[in-house]
């Protein structure tokens, strides 16, 4: 689950990562004006009006603006609310007392899938696209994979100091930046984040460093340890894909993809292989759905219904290798699903093999479903489904 900036800053703040003075979350021009009025009256020389959307590059898109007067804040409010930033329409704005910036750096901790470890990235060149810096000036970007000893009891201050020193941060900020990194790593672990990124990390005139921006992704698999991340769910922010949310609620292993062939199988390995075979036949899978071992007719019908309700799905490949899962249950599930759904435009290609496959095929044949086609092999099933998808 991705957080927006103000949530990331809240998460940082409660874990000891220094952030700017707290601002206000606003949804209307009037709320933005009121927040700016009170912050300017409270001694801020300027406020910053920031679009809260789950994408980067808000500054470049006109979604981050400084105001030194209430009038200016109103103008920014009007231009930012409703602004489309890379397909995300701004509904929530954060108004924060502006910070004075001497320099901008980059600092992040993330889960590295390749090494299955935790990676710290630090650069003296922040506030800009870090991937661009990495391409044009890779020496300016320090990447440090943490050892398991470093991870076990929290990031040692020595390690943090070495990292910020390697990144050539100026002497004046080394101590506070190292402390901040220790806190950042603590936040990342305590909150089960997969990414905690600060871009820019800023140096203020008094040489203190704070997180001016926050990008945090939380690990969905750890949601059960955090009350389902309920505290971060607020209206106006991009919701999860509605079908993924429904699948999660029903306990179905479903991931939305961007193709047109719905894929449903039993066992994650078989489903992955099915995605490959669809691709080899020139198609693109619309989803990953694992009905699991021993799927009942009801689970089968629920899963199939979910896939068929995706408007991007033009055909569906049901690929079942029966072990614990029995062919007749699968077939009954297909029949049940077609009964429940009534008319639907997509064709289903069903490949049944393994336990009681024969019986399953007989059930399908007897039901004489107009939208359902049987296939003898996985290859044949994929080719047919891709063909139906057009």
List residues with catalytic annotation: 106, 197
Binding pattern to ligand GDP, positions 26-65, x when CB under 6 A?
----------------------x-------xxxx----x-
What part of residues 199-228 is at the interface with ligand GDP (CB under 6 A)? 199-200, 212-213
Nearer to ligand GDP, 66 or 312 (CB): 66
Nearer to ligand GDP, 70 or 101 (CB): 101
Among 10, 194, 199, 303, binds Mn ion (CB under 5 A): 199
213 binds Mn ion (CB under 5 A): yes
Among 13, 62, 117, 127, binds ligand GDP (CB under 6 A): 127
Nearer to ligand GDP, 58 or 347 (CB): 58
Closest residue to Mn ion using C-beta atoms: 213
- Least separation in angstroms between residue 195's CB and Mn ion is 13
CA 373 – CA 155 distance, rounded (Å): 57
Closest residue to ligand GDP using C-beta atoms: 59
- Least separation in angstroms between residue 46's CB and ligand GDP is 7
Residue 162 binding target from Mn ion, ligand GDP, none, CB below 5 to 8 Å by type:
none
Place of tokens 């050539």: 168
Picking from 78, 56, 59, the residue whose alpha carbon sits closest to that of residue 217 is 56
Do residues 354 and 321 make contact, with C-beta atoms less than 8 angstroms apart?
Answer: yes
Nearest 10 degrees: Cα torsion 217, 195, 193, 81: -30
What part of residues 265-304 is at the interface with ligand GDP (CB under 6 A)? none
Locate the DSSP E strands across the chain. 24-26, 47-51, 64-67, 84-85, 88-89, 93-97, 103-112, 117-123, 141-145, 193-203, 209-211, 215-218, 253-256, 261-265, 287-290, 315-322, 347-354, 372-375
- Least separation in angstroms between residue 313's CB and ligand GDP is 34
Strands 347-354 and 315-322: parallel
CA 173 – CA 208 distance, rounded (Å): 7
Between the alpha carbon of residue 205 and those of residues 84, 98, 173, 301, 334, the distances in Å are 34, 13, 11, 63, 67
Nearer to ligand GDP, 100 or 158 (CB): 100
Structure tokens at 328: 């007749």
Nearer to Mn ion, 213 or 328 (CB): 213
Do residues 254 and 288 make contact, with C-beta atoms less than 8 angstroms apart?
Answer: yes
CA 338 – CA 307 distance, rounded (Å): 12
Residues that bind ligand GDP (CB under 6 A): 48, 56-59, 64, 66, 98-99, 101, 104, 127, 199-200, 212-213
Residues that bind Mn ion (CB under 5 A): 199, 213
């Amino acid at each position: 689950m991705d957080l927006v900036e103000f949530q990331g800053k809240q998460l940082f703040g409660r874990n000891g990562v220094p952030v700017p003075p707290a601002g206000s979350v606003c949804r209307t021009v009037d709320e933005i004006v009121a927040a700016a009025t009170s912050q300017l009256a409270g001694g801020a020389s300027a406020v910053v009006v920031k679009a809260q959307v789950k994408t980067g590059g808000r500054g470049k898109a006109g979604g981050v603006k400084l105001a030194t007067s209430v009038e200016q804040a109103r103008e920014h409010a009007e231009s930012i609310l409703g602004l489309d930033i890379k397909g995300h329409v701004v509904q929530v704005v954060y108004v924060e007392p502006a910070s004075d910036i001497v320099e901008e750096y980059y600092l992040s901790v993330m889960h590295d899938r390749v090494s299955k470890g935790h990676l710290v990235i630090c650069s003296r060149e922040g506030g800009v696209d870090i991937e661009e810096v990495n391409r044009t000036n890779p020496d300016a970007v320090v990447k440090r994979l943490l050892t398991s000893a470093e991870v076990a009891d929290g990031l040692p201050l020595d390690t943090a100091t070495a990292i910020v020193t390697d990144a050539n941060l100026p002497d004046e900020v080394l101590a506070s930046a190292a402390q901040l990194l220790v806190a950042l790593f603590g936040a990342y672990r305590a909150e089960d984040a997969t990414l905690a990124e600060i871009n820019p990390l800023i140096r203020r005139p008094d040489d203190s460093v704070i997180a001016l921006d926050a990008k945090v992704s939380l690990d969905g698999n750890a949601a059960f340890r955090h009350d389902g991340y309920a505290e971060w769910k607020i209206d106006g922010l991009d919701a999860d894909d509605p079908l993924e949310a429904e699948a999660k609620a029903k306990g179905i292993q479903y991931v939305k993809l961007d193709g047109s062939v719905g894929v449903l199988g039993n066992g994650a390995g078989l489903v992955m292989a099915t995605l490959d075979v669809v691709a080899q036949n020139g198609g693109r899978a619309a989803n990953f759905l694992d009905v699991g071992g021993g799927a009942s007719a009801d689970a089968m019908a629920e899963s199939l219904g979910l896939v068929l309700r995706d408007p991007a799905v033009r055909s569906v490949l049901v690929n079942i290798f029966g072990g614990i899962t029995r062919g007749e249950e699968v077939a009954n599930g297909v029949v049940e699903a077609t009964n429940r759904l009534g008319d639907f435009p997509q064709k289903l290609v069903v490949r049944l093999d393994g336990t009681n496959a024969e019986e399953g095929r007989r059930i399908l044949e007897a039901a004489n479903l107009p939208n359902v086609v049987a296939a003898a092999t996985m290859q044949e099933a994929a080719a047919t489904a891709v063909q139906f998808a057009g």
